Amino acid sequence: MALSDLPSVDQLLSSDSSARLVALYGRAPVTRALRAELDVARQNIRAGGSVPSTEAILSTTGDRLARESESSLQTVMNLTGTVLHTNLGRAPLPPEAIEAMARIAAQPSNLEYDLDSGRRGDRDTHIENLIVQITGAEAATVVNNNAAAVLLALNTLALGKEVVVSRGELIEIGGSFRIPDIMARAGCRLVEVGTTNRTHPADYERAIGKDTALIMKVHTSNYEIRGFTRSVSESELAALCQSRTIPLVTDLGSGTLVDLQRYGLPEEPTVQSALANGADLVTFSGDKLLGGPQAGIIAGKRELVAKMKANPLKRALRVDKLTLAALFEVLKLYRDPESLPRRLPALQLLSRPIESIKEAAGTVHPVLAKRLAGVANVTIEAAMSQVGSGSLPLDQLPSLALVIAPLDPSEAALQGLASAFRHLPTPVIGRVHDGKLLFDVRTLERPQEFNAQLSQLDVP
Ligand SMILES: *Cc1c(COP(=O)(O)O)cnc(C)c1O
């Protein structure tokens, strides 16, 4: 009975509210959403519910359309204490890079077109000179990420052959990048040498045979082996490789292009030093310590880079024009290392002075404590941030954290609190440690924005 009291789609579409929705979203999506809302209403009525008013149906239809047109990909506040967090998008880009991407995105470009000759060009030309200038490499090429760079290097130089790697360097990076798996997919045979904690030059020497294509050195980005250890340095390996005329390929992971110690940060090997130590090729990420867009850079000997450019896999792994536009602007900043901490957001966060962190913590603390009164105690405590993305593995950057200790000691209360922060308009992501929720303030750049949305926090 009641079902027949529901308005028809056509009746709903002829209303003024529908006209507004159609102007906003288009006729077909509005029609589809109205049908979906009528279905919901029918189910409710069958279950004993009442007939909704026309206004109610139009209002829920509007909500549905608004919800559906929101991207699930959104910005968040990363207060985890891991500055370059792989799951949270790694390096934030400088405005120059963002402007360059927008410019190149909107118009045709000479991406693969040589303006002098009027013929087809090579997309690497837009970036290769700058990489060469900064790193001192003979040549360079760029692919989609560092995993792709490693895959391309191995597949190009060692297909069907052996690659010698120390057992201490057979790493897994988060997100299923494992050296042995990449080797297999690249079509090479892994030859492990040494032990987990100690590898000697003689181990490499013994492993080199007629099927050896190269020696690979992998920067153990996300862990550290301490104690009774021995690894063979890049320069020792380079000398060995030279005497056997095979290349040395170094997977550096995060591409550090300046000595970070000048900014008060812990030491991290640079691309320049890897090349100077004799690596024939170095692979590294664009969005780790380099602070740019997701990309994998391969820099080194001209002849080897040329082979990689000629590999059909390069076509499958290539970067798009937006990445090239952004990467160029980021690399340009490296020409003036002095201004880098001001101009490169990733480095700005990593080298943020403790006074500035303290100020941000002080801005948030009273507001947060008041909002959580009766729910949790909030204190400011010393904390250690980490770089993240497998760079500088251990907690090394002194910082401050807002520490939220729920009055209800249950795990459910803690998780509920963490979830409430994750469901703010701009989700806030912290880390749970020792029964408390921690917000590392190093990466909180706009404390007022944090405070402003606290009124919408869904806690009792
Ligand atoms: C991070 C990392 C990779 C993978 O780089 P992506 O840019 O994430 O693909 C490979 N090797 C090492 C040593 C790394 O640290």
**Tens-digit pLDDT profile for residues 276-293:** 999 999 999 999 999 999
Q: What percent of the chain has pLDDT over 70?
A: 97
Q: Are 153 and 312 in contact (CB under 8 A)?
A: no
- Euclidean distance between CA atoms 207 and 192, whole angstroms: 8
Q: How far is the CA of 446 from the centre of ligand 1 (A)?
A: 30
Mean pLDDT of the region 46-59:
93
- pLDDT at residue 127, rounded to an integer: 97
Is the pLDDT assigned to residue 172 strictly greater than 80?
no
Q: Which atom belonging to ligand 1 lies closest to the Cα atom of 219?
A: 13
Confidence band, pLDDT 50/70/90 cuts, at residue 105: very high
The pLDDT value recorded for residue 171 is 77
- For the cut 80, the answer to whether the pLDDT of residue 143 exceeds it is yes
pLDDT of residue 174: 66
Diameter over CA atoms, the chain: 91
Mean pLDDT of the chain: 94
Average pLDDT over residues 220-224: 70
- Asked whether residue 41 carries a pLDDT value surpassing 70, the answer given is yes
Is ligand 1 within 6 A of the CB of residue 296? yes
Higher local confidence (pLDDT), 296 or 198: 296
Would the CB of 173 count as within 6 Å of ligand 1? yes
- Beta bridge partners, 402, equal 380, 439
d(C-alpha 430, C-alpha 79), whole Å: 5
Q: Provide the pLDDT for residue 203.
A: 95
Ligand 1 centroid to residue 291 C-alpha, Å:
14
Please tell me if the CB atom of residue 113 comes closer than 6 angstroms to any atom of ligand 1: no
pLDDT, mean of residues 193-209 = 92
From the CA of 391, give the closest atom in ligand 1: 15
Quickly tell me which residue has 């919408």 as its tokens. 456
Given the CA of residue 390, which atom of ligand 1 is nearest to it?
A: 15
Please answer whether residues 309 and 160 qualify as being in contact, where contact means their C-beta atoms are separated by less than 8 angstroms. Answer: no
Q: In the predicted model, what is the mean pLDDT of residues 446-458?
A: 97
pLDDT in the model for residue 191: 96
Contact predicate 296/142, CB 8 Å = yes
pLDDT for 298-343, tens place per residue? 999 999 999 999 999 999 999 999 999 999 999 999 999 999 999 9
pLDDT at residue 254, rounded to an integer:
87
Read off the tokens for 421: 């922060």
Q: Does 218 contact ligand 1 (Cβ within 6 A)?
A: yes
147, 186 contact by CB (below 8 A): no
Confidence of residue 391 (pLDDT cuts 50, 70, 90): low
Two structure tokens written together for 290: 């380099």
Among 7-11, 222-226, 231-235, which stretch is predicted with the lowest mean pLDDT? Answer: 222-226
Residue 267 has pLDDT above 60, yes or no: yes
Nearest-angstrom CA–CA distance, 428 and 420: 9
- Centroid of ligand 1 to alpha carbon of 131 (angstroms): 19
Span from the CA of 146 to the centroid of ligand 1 (angstroms): 5
- Structure confidence at residue 227 as a pLDDT band (50, 70, 90): confident
Question: Mean of the pLDDT values across residues 68-74?
Answer: 93
Return the pLDDT at 393: 60
pLDDT of residue 222: 64
pLDDT at 423 over 80: yes
Residue 1 pLDDT > 60, yes or no? no
Q: Whose CA is nearest to atom 12 of ligand 1?
A: 253
- Predicted local confidence at residue 221, as pLDDT: 67
Residue 259 confidence (pLDDT) above 80: yes
Contact assessment for residue 199 and residue 167, using Cβ atoms and an 8 Å cutoff:
yes
Q: Would you say the pTM of this structure is higher than 0.85?
A: yes
Average of per-residue pLDDT across 241-262: 95
pLDDT score for 230: 84
Q: How far is the CA of 254 from the centre of ligand 1 (A)?
A: 7
